[in-house]
Structures are given as C-alpha cells and as structure tokens.
Amino acid sequence: MEIKIQVCIKRYTTFVMIHLDILYKLWYPYSNIIHIRCEKQKGWNKHEETGKENRIFAGIAAAVMAVSATAVGVRSYSANAADLELDNYAKLLQYSLYFYDANMCGDKVGETSAFSWRDNCHTGDVALGGFHDAGDAIKCGQTAGFTASTLGWAYYEYKDQFQKTGTTAHFKVISDEFNEFFKRCTTLSGDTVTSFIYEVGDDGSDHGKWFAPEAMWDHGSSETYSTTNGASDIAAQYAASLAQSYLNFGNEEDLKYAVALYNFADKYRTITYDQNTYGGAAKDVQDDISWAAGWLYLATGEESYLTENSKYTQVKNDWTQDYCYANSQLGAAIINAEITGNWSFATNYIGQKVNANQNQFYVMNSWGSARYDVLMQYCALVTSKYEQSGVDYTEWAKKQMNYILGDNNANVCLVVGYNDVSATSPHHRAASNLKVSDDWHEWNSWDGKYSSSNGHVLYGALVGGPTSTDFTTYKDNATDATSNEVAIDYQVGLVAAAAGLYDKYQTGSVVAQIGDEVTVYPDEVAVANGGEVTTTTTTETTTTTTETTTTTEETTTTTEEITTTPEETTTTPEETTTTTTEETTTTPEETTTTTTEETTVTEETTTVSEETTTEETTTTTSASVLPGKNVGDVNLDGKVDLLDAIHLNKYLAQLITLTPVAVANANCNQEDGTETIDDKDTSVLMKFILGSEDVKNLPYVR
C-alpha cells in the first residue's frame, strides 16, 4: 500500500506542472486512498524520502483545495440565532457525547452504543475494546490518551454541569471504556509496568478498506504494537486519564495503574515511532509527563509530582504550544496554575490567541481547524473560571462557538445533526453506509454525499472545518478528509467547551429525542421532561471475608472468599443485567461430610453489576490465530499474499516484531532443516505468491 501511494504522489507531482484542474479531478476521488494528513504525517515519518514526498504533496494538496474551493461555492441560507440554537449549550453538551457511541470497538458495542446501526467489531483483538481513532478503525494510543485525559479534565472542572444536564451516566460509560481499555493494554508485574500496547491497527491495511468496522477483520498480532521501554508520551497520557478517573469516581485500581504507567514513562522518557499513526507529531515527552504529574499530585498530594508538573510550564515546544493531541504543555500549565496560583504562562499564551482573533474564526492549523478552535475555547473558559487568573475570555469563546454552530458567511454548522444547516456527510466509514470493493469502483463513482449512500446521521460529530478563517473553503463532502474528517480528539474539545459555556451561561436544555436511530440516555430524557437526576458515585472496592466451618469429628477449615462489588447507579440505554454468582470450594481426593446440625452456613449472595472490572493479564501474543501453523501467513490474517512478504521483510529489517506463531509461519524455506528466518524465506515466499513453478507449496522442502 505504501509503495502504491508513493507512486501516486510522484505521478500527481508531475501532473500538477501540466494542469492544476486536471490534477484536482484525478486526485479528488482518491483522496481517501492517499489519505495524506499533513500535520499528523500518517505513515510518512519513517524515512527521509517519504518525508520529502509528504511535504511536496502537502503543497500540492493545498493548491488543489484552493481550486476546489472556487468550484464549490457558498451555501445560500439565512438563519437567525434562535434557528441555529447558538446558545443551547445544554443540548450541545448532550449531542457532543454521542459521537463516541459511533466509534466504540469490541464485543460490547451492540449493547452499549446508543446508535442502532453500530454493532460488535474486532472481537478477536488482543487489546479488546476502546475507540476507533477517526473515520477509520485504528485504535491510536496517542489520540486516545489525549482524548480520555481531556474528557476527565472536563468532568473534573464541570461535574455539576454534567449532572444538571443528565449527561453524567453517558459520560461515565465513555470514560470507563477508555480507562478499562488502557488497563487491558497494560501488563503489570506487581506495581511495575513490563509492557503496554500503544496502538492497535495498521494504516495501510485499514485505509485500504472503506466499510463499517463490523465488516472488517480483527486486528491481528502483527497489527498490535507494544513496547517494553518506549512510547513514554502515550504511557503518561494513559496515566493522566486513570488518575482523573480516580479523582472523579474513586476507583482505587485506576490510581494503581496511573502510578505504574507514570513511573514507566518517567523511567524511559522515550518516544516510539514504530507504526505509531501519529508518530512525528509529538516532539517531546516532558509535556506529557508534566501533565500526568499534575493529576497525580491532585490524586495523592505527593510533592514530587508537583515538582515534575512545574518543569514544563515555561518551556516552548518546537511544534505548537496549543493544547492538542501533540502537546499537553498548556494543559499542564493550567493545572499547575490551579494548584500554585501562578497563571502567567497560561494567560500570556491564551491572551495572544484571543487578541489576534477577535473578529475571525481561530485557525491554528488548516487540517481539522475546528479541533484546535474548540480546544482553545476550552482552555480559555477554564482559565476564565478562576478569579485568580485575572482574565475573562468567555465572550471570545462564545463567539468562536457561534462560528462553529453556523454563524458564519457559509451558513454551515460544523456539528452534525445539531441544526438545519449542519454538515451532513462527514468522513466516516461506518456512518457513510458505503462499502467499496477492492477496485474502489464504488468510491470512484460516489459523490461523497450520504444522501446517495443512504448514510446514517452521525449526531453530535464535529467535522474538521474550513482550511482558513474564511468558511467558503469548507466542503460538506465525505471524500474531503481535510474539511470533513471526524475524530475522537476533534470531538473532545467540543464536549469540554460545551460544558464550559453551559457553566458560564446556563442556557439551553437537553432533548428527549435525537433521531430514529438513537437511544437517548434515560437521565437525559428525565431532565428534558423537567425532572432532576441524583447520581450516587460508589467507590469500587473489593472486600474479602473469611468464614470458618467446624464439624464434630474433625476440624475442617473452609476459607470462602466473598467478593462484594458495590452496585453502581450508572444508567445505560439498555437493561442492566444482574448476575448472582455462588462460589463453591471443592477439595480433591477427599470427601468431606459436613454435619448440618453442627454447622452454621451463612448464605452470601454476590451481586455483580455491569461496571464490575475483572483484572486481566494482557499479552501481545494473539489468541485468535488459526490453529496450528499456516506457513506463509506472516501477518496472521488467514491468507498468504504480498502483505505477508512485506511483513516478513519488515521483521528481517528489525522494523517490527512477530509473535511466536507468526515466526513459525515465516519459516517458508525448510530446505535447511532449521527454524532460522532469513532472506531465503523471503525468496521462497515471493516465489510462491508469484506462482513460480519452483515453489508450488509451502513450506519449501527440496
């Protein structure tokens, strides 16, 4: 896939010199296949040559988008503030959470997601659950960690606003799914992290398909990337989120994992680039470590965390200082200010942005501009919340949100399904309801509109936005990933800013119905109908009770472990299942008769709610591979093709690691009678794939 894309880039580089409008017509249908993301550098950070090609294509793409903008024109619509619901911040907060239901992954999607058109997917993943990154099906640790820790921050700051709008239950489902996934990705030995998974999925194989995740294959072991001494930035983000979960909901286990992951990040302080979709965006780990340290200080009160948190509040980053998936510096500085009262860095930085964008839409980066805008709104709102900061940026944030909700010269709302001028066709595989074949014929003939693919309404999703302060560059078309992609890190700023604006202005109301394909949370329905919601937060603890049973003839001590998990009052859209578990102890090779007259038995019922967490040990070996050896199937996808040869070459070049099963499958040349994997195995595998008469079967034995 990478080779194909490189050829395309070189080809289009030549074409642009001939005729730009022809280039646009050629590039436009394949924009998703190429899937260049300039600031994220998806898949183009590993080699200097591809880096150069990325920069070349970035310039070409900008020119193409400029040409396309003139052809699209401006939507003709006029609406007043009431029609646009510019100040309905309660509804905005409610809607903003539903995007995460569309991006859930794992074996609980069907019962958990509020969208009827989503179901279970990737049920055989080594790291089960979590959330897909964007309009694709990859699970990226860098954006997931940032998203979860920003969600946790928003709830920490505006807990009462979630309560008032009845959105706490929905929020907790999302927060718990993130944090349970992080724990499933982490292998502990005592209190020490021995390895953790930082990405599940592969750019090439994932982006080569355009259909719902339910129809996709499971992510194999070769697509599960873990580390024993790196990805410290991602480990720190996981730690921050888990520490917040402890602060917000009191789960002691979350704090244990938070401390362990922080210690891991602090020990190695290394960024891992091997198949990190966002590798190259983050330039440092100190911002992430300082960010996590601030939250651990709030959770534990230990001064060493505050010392670490204070290290990165005055240092400039070489990419951007905006709070985003690639940099947590501003967030770390704001938390530090909340603790110490020193707001100088936060206010100086935010003040510059506010003053420079008083009368225009704030665009920090042209790719996904709305993402940076809402995140800056949130940072401005949090800073304004504290009187000690001495600033008030709330009106600026309100004006910026007005732009997003449709008060702009293109009359387009960037939040799907929110009002009558909302974007309709976001760059999202599942919601588009389009399934393309391997030759991409359907994609090439598709107009990029959900109306022609019978797509689903992706309620609440924040689309990328215009490429400049002028909204006329925006195109409501799913094939335009620059303007219309959606992602978990895009969305989190909308959730946080909506909560902050509702806290300030207290305007609007949630709704009882969203759409035919959406199950609205009961608490939200109750609030919409004029009721109130009382949420009780229960700390999840484990209590062990020892009971002694005595007989007359022989003293027999039976130790029965009773685990009691307090029932949580979190309400989900579907019926909560209560399981009664009775533990029976059997002693092998010895029959024990208990005299009922002399034995007192206390009946104990263990009630387990759906929120009960079962500790799992996660390994990086696949549990879902084919039984036995399947020689040649190096990537463990059930077939032997060119992708296996690519994986084998990457392994020999020490770019990736393979599971023991994959290594066994890679032993294609068994002529030498050894298990050694070398270039001869690659040669044999390629001959087999190409149909050579020399190698008709695998393994090859002369």
What the block records as the tokens of 276 is 């990190």
Mean pLDDT of the chain: 79
Q: Which residue's structure tokens are 């007359």?
A: 552
What residues have CB less than 8 Å from 38, skipping those under 6 apart? 54, 58, 61, 366, 367
Please, are residues 509 and 531 in contact by the beta-carbon 8 Å criterion? no
Q: Which residues contact 574 (CB under 8 A, 6 or more apart)?
A: 111, 112, 519
Burial of 554 (0-12, 13-18, 19+ CB in 10 A): exposed
Q: Are 496 and 376 in contact (CB under 8 A)?
A: no
pLDDT at 525: 97
Is the torsion defined by CA of 318, 322, 323, 326 positive or negative?
A: negative
* pLDDT at residue 59 in the model: 42
Q: What is the pLDDT of residues 29-63, one digit of tens each?
A: 333 333 333 333 333 333 333 333 343 344 444 34
pLDDT tens per residue across span 445-478: 999 999 999 999 999 999 999 999 989 999 999 9
Record the pTM: 0.69
| Structural tokens at position 318 | 């070489």
In this structure, what token pair is assigned to residue 99?
């995007």
The fraction of the chain above a pLDDT of 90, given in percent, is: 58
* 8 A C-beta contact, residue 501 and residue 401: yes
pLDDT for position 249: 97
Encode pLDDT of 241-265 as tens digits.
999 999 999 999 999 999 999 999 9
pLDDT at residue 573 greater than cutoff 70? no
Q: What local confidence, expressed as pLDDT, does residue 629 receive?
A: 52
**DSSP assignment string, 417-455:** TSSTTB----B-HHHHT----TT-HHHHH--S-HHHHTP
Helix (H, G, I), strand (E, B) or coil at 224: strand
Separation CA 582–CA 596 (nearest Å):
19
Does residue 124 have a pLDDT over 90? Answer: yes
Residue identified by tokens 């150069």 is: 52
Handedness of CA 136, 138, 141, 144 (dihedral sign): positive
- CA–CA separation, 468 and 38 (whole Å): 15
Per-residue confidence (pLDDT) for residue 287, from 0 to 100: 93
Give the residue, 227 or 674, on which the prediction is more confident. 227
pLDDT at 126 over 60: yes
Grade residue 535 by pLDDT with cuts at 50, 70 and 90. low
Determine contact, residues 329/288, Cβ cutoff 8 Å: no
Radius of gyration of the chain (CA): 27
Higher pLDDT, 318 or 646: 646
Q: Is the pLDDT of residue 434 over 60?
A: yes
**Helix and strand numbers, DSSP H then E, in the chain:** 27, 6
| Strand pairing category for 192-200 and 224-227 | antiparallel
The 8-class DSSP code of residue 576 comes to: P
What does each C-alpha distance from 141 to 159, 615, 658 come to in angstroms?
Answer: 26, 20, 20
Q: Are 217 and 637 spatial neighbours (Cβ–Cβ below 8 Å)?
A: yes
Nearest to 391 by CA among 362, 357, 354: 354
pLDDT at 534: 63
